[in-house]
Chain A
Amino acid sequence: DAKTTQPPSMDCAEGRAANLPCNHSTISGNEYVYWYRQIHSQGPQYIIHGLKNNETNEMASLIITEDRKSSTLILPHATLRDTAVYYCIVGSYNTDKLIFGTGTRLQVFP
C-alpha cells in the first residue's frame, strides 16, 4: 500500500479556508485517497475520498493533482469545531487493512 506524508501541524483562522496537503507519490492506479479526522480523543470520522477527479461533499472538498501524487483537503470555512487531527490514507477496494500515519493537527483559532 502506498504511504502518505503530511505536515505535522497547521493553523487556520476561523472563517477562512483550511487547505491540508498530502503527498502520496507511490500511489498506484487503483488506489483511492481517503481523508479521516479525529476530534480530541474520539474515534476517527470519515470525511471524503476520491480516485482522480475532484470531489466535494457537505464537509469538504478534495483536490487531487493530475499525476495523483498529491492531494489537498479543503475545509472552505473552518470553524473552531474543525480543530482535529486529519489523516490522509490511500488504499484500493482490495485493501483489507488501512494504515494510518500521524496525520496533520489542524488548529483553528478565533
Chain B
Amino acid sequence: NAGVTQTPKFQVLKTGQSMTLQCAQDMNHNSMYWYRQDPGMGLRLIYYSASEGTTDKGEVPNGYNVSRLNKREFSLRLESAAPSQTSVYFCATQETGLNLMMFFGSGTQLSVL
C-alpha cells in the first residue's frame, strides 16, 4: 500500500502561473486535508474535505481552490501563484469518527519566483 501519495514532489512556478497539486490515498479514509508549512513554522490548514463531495475552508484558504474528485483524490489548485505561496504542502487523510489519527503524504515543495 502506498498510503498517501502526493505529486509532484518539487515544483517551481513563476508569479501568476497556475498549477494543481495532486493527492491520492488508498486507505479508504473519508476525510482529506491540505496543509502548508512555511520554513520554521508549524502546519496551517488550507482546506479539508470531510467526505466525497464536500469541502470546507481551513485557516488560510485565500489563493487556493480544492476539488474532492472522488473518495481517493483531493487536489489543491493555485490559480495565480504568488511568492507568498512558496511553502511545503502536505496532504493528509483521516478516518472520521474513529479517532484523529492522521496519515500524511511526503509533501510537495513549491517555490514561486
Contacts and interface: CB of A to CB of B under 8 A. Distances in A.
Binding site of B, secondary structure by majority: helix, strand, loop or mixed?
A: strand
Given A98-B45, A100-B44, A46 B106 contact: no
B88 A44 contact: no
Contacts of A45: 104
Interface residues of B, number: 31
Contacts of B109: 41
Contact of A100 (B43, B105, B107): B43
B2 interface: no
Most chain A CB neighbours (cut-off 10 Å) among B42, B92, B100: B100
A54 to B, nearest CB: 17
B40 to A, nearest CB: 9
A102 interface: yes
A45 B105 CA distance: 10
Nearest to B4: A43
Nearest to B44: A100
A32 B106 contact: no
Contacts of A101: 42
Contact of A43 (B48, B92, B99, B100): B92
